Structure 1
Amino acid sequence: MYDYIIIGAGSAGCVLANRLSEDPACRVLLLEAGPRDWHPFIHMPAGLAKLVGHKGVNWNYDTVAEAQLDGRRLWWPRGKVLGGSSSINAMCYVRGVPADYDGWDAMGAEGWDWRGVLPYFKRSERNTRGADALHGADGPLHVSDLRHTNPLSSAFIEAGQQAGYHRNDDFNGQQQAGFGFYQVTQKDGARCSSAVAYLHPVRHRSNLEVFTGTLARRILIENGRAVGVAYAHRGREVQVRAEREVLLAGGAINSPQLLMLSGVGPADHLRERGIAVQMDAPQVGLNLQDHLDICTLRHSTRPVTYDRTSELKTAFDYFLRGHRGPGSSNIAEAGAFVRSSLASGPHADIQLHFVPAMLDDHGRHRLAGDGYTLHACFLRPRSRGRIRLDDADARTPARIEANYLSDPEGFDLKMMIECARLSRDLFTQRAFDDYRGAPIFPARDDLDEAGLTAFVRAKAETVYHPIGTCRMGNDGNAVVDPQLRVNGVGGLRVIDASVMPTLIGGNTNAPTMMIAERAADLIRGHPPLRVPH
């Protein structure tokens, strides 16, 4: 018997394990389907390139055939390891803008406005630049400036200024827009995942148990209340009981999947799969949102990129020199937030990630020579997808229907074309004169709107930010209420990116940890932290 059982040791689950086990009288069990985060390439930031497709730490999901993307099935990597996706991502520390969270509050996620969430961002953060009104310096999550950057990343920032945009050294500061280097979740040049920040320092606690290699099969629900979890370990089913609550932190794919496997979801869909209905919850799995991304690639005339860097030499130098050199790079070193001509509000609606290497198909397709890549995504897409079950077996991947570019007005497609145009224009700036080689994707620089449309449909991919499938709100249709309690089922909460009502304007990892920080206070009955007026 445990007080709390947490399902998923990812970005949110590790935070919960830390905060809830602070009370020595409270017994906490953390379940993770993947292994320990022992792999050295997890901890060397540049090692993320070697983790691409690594089946030992990745769920390796695929969407269904996407109708608006030439019928392609898109690859969705998600972390299956202690730390979850924070153990395999590019470590960019981005929060979004205050209006994102004020919008949540206005949509019924009461208390999740900017004043309600900022204290939890600050409580989480240990920024090497120090504390101020917007940043913390005493939290578990180390946030730092990059130790090593490529000259092409500086050229990209200079190109942005030449194109008329300003320099921004803090995307989480007073304003988000501009060009600059990302701050990253690193400690002394090594990755600082949620496992490194929150879990490893407290593994010694006698009231905290962590089980890896344990795939949750279903949540045990009795008389309308979650009372435990059934999981698979070494080919057999084990059941554990929770005296207080079961906390589901599986992410935007696995959390709705496990709810449905447990009988909480659209009743007709569950019955079709032979699952007994515990609670008819039609919106479980709906509201799926993601940032669709288009990559523009060019050859480099100078061999300064990371394309031909010796992986062995990089690793040797990194560990020998105290976590310095190219091995400390997050690869996506520089970026930008830009307000396009189509923006409906005052905030940036396009995000850029610049990579001083050729990155095609998430790096799985290696290209010859040297080159550089610019990712561009529309920050607030209108299209909505869903998660569904193919069968009642927890080992079967969920059915991901991302439904990209499906909004009736076609606005998402217009924005993706705008993203491609912006990327092309930035590569024409003088800062790239010493590096500019032949175009790769697209293969021509003079594509018209029809050509750019075809380019987007043929090459756009996820930039790894799925959210929204267990939407939070105060209406009867929401999956969870503003305290993250599953409507209609006692003793059960969902705490991860799936509860976000809408995408925030940026990367989703830091906001997911914030959600778990605030949820821990809600669970413990602590008064919520607030920013004074």
Structure 2
Amino acid sequence: MGSPVDRSFDFIVVGAGTAGCALAARLSEPGANVLLLEAGGEARSPWIKIPVGYAKLLGDPRYNWMYRTEPETALGGRVLDVPCGRTLGGTGAINGLIHIRGHAADYDGWRDAGNHGWGYADVLSWFRHSEANVRGASEYHGADGPLAVSDPRPDTLSNAFVDAAVEAGLPRNEDFNGATQDGAGFYQLNTLRGTRASSAGAYLAPARGRASLAVQTDALVHRILFDGDRAIGVEYAHRGRVLRARATKIVLSAGAFNSPQLLLRSGIGPASQLHAHDIPVVADSPGVGDNLHNHYRASVIVRCRPGLSLNELTQSFGARVGMALAYIFARRGPLATGTSAGGFFRSDAARDRPDIQVTFWNYSVAKRDARGLELHDFPAYTANAVILRPRSRGSLRLASRDPAAAPLIRYNHLDHPEDRHAIAAGLALVRRIVAMPSLAKLSDGELAPGVVLSNENDLIDYAREHGNSVYHPVGTCRMGVDERAVVDPQLRVRGVRGLRVADASIMPTIIAGNTNAPTLMIAERAAAWMLAER
């Protein structure tokens, strides 16, 4: 296809992340002319393909927007790093690979809030449609979709965690994306023969030879162009030039930070905020940037017997060489898999569904810096307690009209008292599992929070000081039927025509689990609607 400047398109997709790559591929299948714009570059780093390579990419501005929060009041003024993928594949190119849909009740809650067609029975077929599951086709799984879903090869510590959870009286679950979510088990992962499987590789790569698809990297979209209330194109920067492209329909898939930013820069948002930045109002949409929320975690770190932890393998030159050779020649070993063990649990029996997720790591992090993660120099493992249904809500605001300026991000983690209670209950649950024989016999003392911290207030204080986001931002372009909703149940931006948002930003409430698979489902639904309207 020729230069994007030279022609008009049927569709422009802004953002080549998990959703955008799928949208561009699906929309161009029947021959519609599609332009996909991505602010980042090609995914050239070898660490992107290696499942544990994300630890090396969290501090790399070539592949990460490197956003940070404003000081978090409920966390004592701490400023949190906010990883956000900036390359083909988006955050799906630098995430932890866990393939989780969430709980059926999450989607039924969306439906019951007025979002017709978003109940679990409605979206299940789209989940199946997207996946190529190693377990084959079934009521809950698809085998013929683009994205690989594989089973992990658990290590000794991960197996011990699952056994310990069962010893603690919790059920064993063979499929977190099956009939029930409760219990401990092994996560399925987006890997294919020991390499990362992302939307960029699964959807976009096979489509890039189509004459109907143009992919432009290093293209930062400044604003959406309008004729009255109809979106007619975009203005973007590419290698020092400011260019324009036109289309019949435009869809934003830039994620929970960049999609609302682009709406605001284009004149869609709270009128008072737009006026403050001298941005002409196209549509006064008060909910743009509100409803930001995310999962929050706090960790129990335990020393363990020698020979079990990934920590040791990173300290020894010989072990590092062995890991590299195992990966290069067999796509096996520690480099070939991500987080494998964990579970979904109820902090008390009265709850109707899990409110705590646990992710188990066979390593422990000493510090995070611009180079990524640095592990402890002694053997240890980590069990993370994650709040699945946070009540705290934050916001995203423009810092300036400058398209290159980072937004003002406020999560307000642990602002709501129920979240503080939940994180303390989650840490207590993790400690109960760790104390069971299967793990206790491999352990050598709790490092953090430390046994002297035992009551709820102690654990809350620990979570404030040492907890972190789980990098699942959602909600800033909320789907709904009320006046503060940003998009309607078919993801059309309210107040204008010809414009949709299709990414994690549209989630009214966060799902109970990792957000990559639900984001892909959202893209599949949006593509079907857009093609039906063509």
TM-score normalised to structure 1 length: 0.95
What does 1:193-232 correspond to in 2, within 5 Å?
A: 193-232=198-237
1:505 maps onto 2:509 in alignment: no
What does 1:259-278 correspond to in 2, within 5 Å?
A: 259-278=263-282
1:481 maps onto 2:485 in alignment: no
**Are the aligned partners of 2:296 and 2:468 in contact in 1 as well (CA < 8 Å)?**
yes
**Are the aligned partners of 2:55 and 2:373 in contact in 1 as well (CA < 8 Å)?**
no
Distance 1:287 1:28 in 2: 31
Distance 1:312 1:376 in 2: 33
Q: Residue deviations 1:80-108, cap 9 Å, x none?
A: 11001111111111001211111101112
Q: Residue deviations 1:182-218, cap 9 Å, x none?
A: 0011112211101011000111101101111111111
Question: How far apart are residue 314 of structure 1 and its match?
Answer: 2.3
Distance 1:343 1:28 in 2: 50
Distance 1:444 1:317 in 2: 38
Which range moves more in the overlay, 254-263 or 269-278? 269-278
User: Which amino acid in 1 is paired with 2:39?
Assistant: A
Which range moves more in the overlay, 298-307 or 310-319? 310-319
In structure 1, the residue matched to 2:337 is 329
What does 1:296-445 correspond to in 2, within 5 Å?
A: 296-310=300-314, 311-321=320-330, 323-330=331-338, 332-341=339-348, 344=351, 346-360=352-366, 364-407=373-416, 410-445=417-452
Distance 1:223 1:286 in 2: 25
Question: How far apart are residue 304 of structure 1 and its match?
Answer: 1.6
In structure 2, the residue matched to 1:172 is 177
**Are the aligned partners of 1:34 and 1:80 in contact in 2 as well (CA < 8 Å)?**
yes
**Are the aligned partners of 2:97 and 2:189 in contact in 1 as well (CA < 8 Å)?**
yes
1:447 maps onto 2:451 in alignment: no
1:222–1:316 distance in 2 versus 1, CA, 3 Å: farther
Distance 1:172 1:21 in 2: 30
User: Which amino acid in 2 is paired with 1:31?
Assistant: L
Q: Residue deviations 1:84-137, cap 9 Å, x none?
A: 111111111100121111110111211111121011001101111111111111
In structure 2, the residue matched to 1:530 is none
Find the residue that maps to 1:2 and give its secondary structure: strand
Find the residue that maps to 2:242 and give its secondary structure: strand
In structure 2, the residue matched to 1:13 is 20
Question: How far apart are residue 61 of structure 1 and its match?
Answer: 1.1
In structure 1, the residue matched to 2:156 is 151
In structure 1, the residue matched to 2:253 is 249
Find the residue that maps to 1:65 and give its secondary structure: coil
Distance 2:246 2:324 in 1: 44
**Are the aligned partners of 1:110 and 1:474 in contact in 2 as well (CA < 8 Å)?**
no
Distance 1:169 1:347 in 2: 17
**Are the aligned partners of 2:421 and 2:456 in contact in 1 as well (CA < 8 Å)?**
no
**Are the aligned partners of 1:343 and 1:349 in contact in 2 as well (CA < 8 Å)?**
no
Q: Residue deviations 1:375-428, cap 9 Å, x none?
A: 111111111111101110110111101111222xx1110001111111222211
Choose from 499, 508, 519 the match for 1:492.
499
Question: How far apart are residue 365 of structure 1 and its match?
Answer: 4.7
TM-score normalised to structure 2 length: 0.95
**Are the aligned partners of 2:363 and 2:375 in contact in 1 as well (CA < 8 Å)?**
no
In structure 1, the residue matched to 2:196 is 191
Distance 2:533 2:194 in 1: 35
**Are the aligned partners of 1:96 and 1:506 in contact in 2 as well (CA < 8 Å)?**
yes
CA RMSD, Structure 1 to Structure 2 (Å): 1.5
Unaligned runs of 5+ in 1: 528-533
Which range moves more in the overlay, 82-91 or 359-368? 359-368
In structure 1, the residue matched to 2:3 is none
What does 1:63-102 correspond to in 2, within 5 Å?
A: 63-102=69-108
User: Which amino acid in 1 is paired with 2:276?
Assistant: E
In structure 2, the residue matched to 1:59 is 65
Question: How far apart are residue 443 of structure 1 and its match?
Answer: 2.9
User: Which amino acid in 1 is paired with 2:449?
Assistant: P
In structure 2, the residue matched to 1:525 is 532
1:445–1:427 distance in 2 versus 1, CA, 3 Å: farther
Q: Residue deviations 1:287-338, cap 9 Å, x none?
A: 11100111111112223211132445423321212x22222111x1101000
Find the residue that maps to 2:18 and give its secondary structure: coil
**Are the aligned partners of 2:414 and 2:464 in contact in 1 as well (CA < 8 Å)?**
no
Find the residue that maps to 2:292 and give its secondary structure: coil
Distance 1:450 1:99 in 2: 31
Which range moves more in the overlay, 299-308 or 379-388? 299-308
Distance 2:403 2:533 in 1: 35
**Number of corresponding residues:** 519
**Are the aligned partners of 2:453 and 2:459 in contact in 1 as well (CA < 8 Å)?**
no
Distance 1:309 1:202 in 2: 39
Find the residue that maps to 2:272 and give its secondary structure: helix
Question: How far apart are residue 361 of structure 1 and its match?
Answer: 5.3
Distance 1:378 1:150 in 2: 26
Question: How far apart are residue 360 of structure 1 and its match?
Answer: 4.8
